[in-house]
Amino acid sequence: MESESGPPLSAAFLAMALGRRVRERVEDRLREHGIALRHLSALGHLHRRPGISYSELARRAGVTPQSMQDTLRRLEQLGAVERTTEPGRGRTAMLRVTDEGHRLRLAGRAVIDETDAAITGAGPDDHLTQSLRAALDRFPLEPERGAGE
């Protein structure tokens, strides 16, 4: 997208470019394990809070239950999570991470750690981490600017 050739590098452009590159790299590495970022994220939530349902998971991840269902379908098909309750329409599911799921989760963490090292320059350059955290803090998500009439 924003090519190298060029000009102007404001913090906004830099943030978008870095975010994109990091995401691409992580997704790339993760793909070798057959998952994407959203799967890793779901595994993380489910690990910290076993037994929660599709909808709860969706709420935490900030997506619709329908989207989360897709994510979980993939994870179930990989044998990474399983439901401890009967499937069925209004039937709230109880989900848990399997051994395979933990294996995947740790592989994912390794990818993140590796990327982390690359991004901070292999040294403890918390300048970056600190700056990022500060920027995130003072940059809250948009307050639903849909109908401020």
Binding residues (CB under 7 A) for DNA: these are: 1, 27, 36, 38, 53-56, 62-67, 69-71, 87-93
Q: Is 105 in the site for a copy of itself (CB under 8 A)?
A: no
How many residues of this chain bind a copy of itself (CB under 8 A)? 59
Interface residue with a copy of itself, options 88, 89, 138, 147 (CB under 8 A): 138
Q: Which amino acid is at 79?
A: G
Q: Does 41 bind a copy of itself (CB under 8 A)?
A: yes
Stretch that binds a copy of itself, among 80-88, 89-97, 100-108, 138-146 (CB under 8 A): 138-146
Neighbours of 66 (CB within 10 A): 10
Q: Which is nearer to a copy of itself, 63 or 78 (CB)?
A: 63
Report in angstroms how near the CB of residue 19 gets to a copy of itself at its nearest: 1
Contact set for a copy of itself, span 59-78 (CB under 8 A): 60-63
d(C-alpha 58, C-alpha 60), whole Å: 5
Task: List Cβ neighbours of 75 (8 Å cut-off, separation of 6 or more).
Answer: 35, 39, 42, 43, 81, 101
